Amino acid sequence: MTRELLDLMGIDNNRLALEWVSSAEGGRFAEVVTSFTQKIKDLGKNPLGVAA
């Protein structure tokens, strides 16, 4: 639903990620956050600019 709402607002829904990571999976947590951070960097600034 959030993805659809983002679409309506003209915000790229690739900017949203939802992942479940157990507290025992430190390595996976790092991986998820690093790859998502990279993805956002590649996408560049969002249309809202810098958040107030």
Partner 1 sequence: MNIEDAAQTTQAYYCLDCGVCTGSCPVSRVMPSFSPRIIVEKALLGLGDELLRDRDLWSCLTCSRCFERCPSSIDFPEFMRLLRAEAMKLGTQPAYSHHGMLQTIMELQTQGITQKKTDWAREAGKVAEKGDTFFFVGCMPYFQVIFRYLGVDSISVSKNIIKILNGAGIEPVVSDDEHCCGHDMLWNGQVETFEKLASHNLEVIRASGAKRVVFNCPEGFYTFKRHYTEHFGDLGFEIIHFYDLVAQMLEEGSIRVENGVGPITYHDPCRLGRMAKIYDGPREILTKLAGDNFVEMERNRENALCCGTSGWANCSTVSKQIQVERLKEAEATGAKTLITACQKCQIHLTCALSNLEMDLELKDLTSLLAEAITDS
Query: Which lies closer to partner 1 via its Cβ, residue 37 or residue 46?
Result: 46
- Cα four-point dihedral sign 21, 30, 28, 3: positive
Quick check: 28 and 21 in contact, CB under 8 A? yes
Q: How far is the CB of 24 from partner 1 (least distance, A)?
A: 29
Supply the Cα-derived Rg of the chain in whole angstroms.
13
Binding mask 5-44 for partner 1 (x = CB under 8 A): x-xxxxx---------------------------------
Q: Which residues bind partner 1 (CB under 8 A)?
A: 1, 4-5, 7-11, 47-49, 52
